[in-house]
Amino acid sequence: MEGWFEKAPPCPVCGSEDTVPIVYGLPAREAMESAERGEIILGGCIIHESSPAWHCNSCGHKWGEYREIYEED
């Protein structure tokens, strides 16, 4: 599964590198298994303009705008 999503940057609040991407949409089995292992966070099926892209497992902070990182122009 490695490589199908971008590696999350360090948390801007606590500096932890224990961060993961937030994945939106109806999850396939592979995504659900990845979420169970803590490799991603499932963000739900609806993406809003301000939906965050990253999640910190250490402090719970969510940041970044998903649409700016993953959507093509």
Average pLDDT over residues 52-73: 84
- The torsion angles phi and psi of 65, rounded to 5 degrees, stand at -105, 115
Burial track 41-69 (b if 16+ CB lie within 10 A, e otherwise): bbbeeeeeeebbbbbbeeeebbbbebeee
This prediction has a pTM of 0.82
48-61: per-residue pLDDT in tens?
Answer: 888 999 999 999 99
